[in-house]
Amino acid sequence: MRRTMESPCSQPPLPVECLSRYHRSKMPDLVLLLILLVPTMSSLPAAHCDNNNDDVGFQLTLTHVDASTSYTKPQRLRRAIARSKARAAALQSLAAVASPVVDPITAARILVTASTGEYVVGLAIGTPPLYYTAIMDTGSDLIWTQCAPCLLCVDQPTPYFDAKRSATYRALPCRSPRCGQLTYPACFQRVCVYQYYYGDTASTAGVLANETFTFGAGAGNSSTKVVAPNISFGCGSINAGDLANSSGMVGFGRGPLSLVSQLGPSRFSYCLTSYLSPTPSRLYFGAFANLNSTNTSSSSPVQSTPFVVNPALPSMYFLSLKGISLGTKRLPIDPVAFAINDDGTGGVIIDSGTSITWLQQDAYEAVRRGLLSAIPLPAANDTDIGLDTCFPWPPPPNVTVTVPDFVFHFDGGANMTLPPENYMLIASTTGYLCLAMAPSGAGTIIGNYQQQNLHVLYDVANSLLSFVTAPCDII
């Protein structure tokens, strides 16, 4: 999701002159506060960051952002759909601004909106380690947390990270390769400074630094603890928005600043439990990310399909979708509905941070017609929950209804078969059975609701997505 750019400050110019190249008129207050803050940070030459090790592996717990709240089931569904709408709109707008001539602040505002996620993970930062939770996001790259002294921060459940108390914190110089990998880098007194806007109400700004991260320790995680030095992250002291009761964000995208790219080996997997289940999900990294020993609930084989590179959005996980079936019936959808357009828009993304699936408009209409044909009940809209392909439920006693499986057909012959509970939901306030998908005018995003009880492996090094049906609550 991050586009690599050369640092605009090859020399340490005055901050105002440097930042004027990035339309300082649009961000003066935040940057001036940041400039006041930077001299208080320790700035030393960065050590070489090379954590790639084929033997590295650990397991983490994934917790849904609403898991510990008092929201009712209908409220949680409405919240998830609302988040999904905002995220889908942002992800679908990224390619439209992914051009070197586009105002980088406009692009960054969209990037932050796209980073609102659905699951949080636990990890630790610094020496001695400070444990905290962060949003896991397969749709972005930057790792960041809120840092003290916090000039403008949002509430979080753990103390702000204090760089002065860590023996391993190192601010990165402007000439660092990592600094050049930011969406748009800036510098002050040779220190690399970043700033991202996430929509109109969310933002993060601070210093790009290297630090030691600890994974796999803490409640609910595996006994294997991995300590990784020299992980580049954003130490944000000016932040706003919603962190879903966490303390930052961890990008799992394909870009150079993501955790996957920095830590290595470049593979991870997750197994998402049933939606609204009290049982947390699992995230596996490196050597632990392996589907061969998955305790499957059926005889379904592991299936694989290659990732597709979208030059406009190289960090996103695009797939080549060939078609959709309902049961044994292949729907009449032109494959061009799933293609990446010449301008980088369109295509098919798999994303853990979007709740329901967003289907390209023509594909959605084909699915809707297929369901209307397969389900002998009158169609309805559920304006309460925000879905528009619904049926009264339960059906009348004299009506037999069989909801077919839903199948995504991918390149390479891989078929992702979804049982009804993975693509239909019951809205308890209205009693409707609804399609947990929505129409999109700019592409397709396969969300996490459709990934329930699938063990999904992202093999970034080999550019391959693999998946298999699994009982995620017990593996």
The torsion angles phi and psi of 305, rounded to 5 degrees, stand at: -145, 145
Distance CA 353, CA 195 (A): 22
Q: How far apart are CA 155 and CA 240, in angstroms?
A: 9
Helices and strands (DSSP H and E) totals, the chain: 7, 29
Asked if 301 contacts 312 with a C-beta cutoff of 8 angstroms, the reply is no
CA distance 233 to 73: 35
Q: Determine the Cα–Cα distance for residues 18 and 31; give it in Å rounded to an integer.
A: 11
Between vectors from CA 160 to CA 155 and to CA 161, what angle results, nearest 5°? Answer: 155
- What is the C-alpha end-to-end distance of the chain, expressed in Å? 31
H or E element at residue 348: strand 348-350
Closest among 293, 277, 319 to 57, alpha carbons compared: 293
Active site residue 50: no
DSSP 297: S
Please give the Cα distance from 81 to 386 (Å, whole number): 7
Which of 54, 155, 343, 351 is labelled catalytic? 351
66 noted as active-site residue: no
Give dist(CA 319, CA 465) in Å, integer: 8
- Helix, strand, coil tally for the chain in percent (to 5): 20, 35, 45
Catalytic residue among 137, 141, 382, 459: 137
Q: Two tokens at 127?
A: 């020496």
Tokens standing for 398? 């004299």
CB atoms within 10 A of CB 164: 11
Q: What is the largest CA-CA distance in the chain?
A: 78
CA pair distance 357, 351, nearest whole angstrom: 9
In angstroms, what CA-CA distances link 465 with 114, 151, 319?
22, 41, 8
Q: Cα separation of 76 and 249, whole Å?
A: 21
Active-site residue list: 137, 351
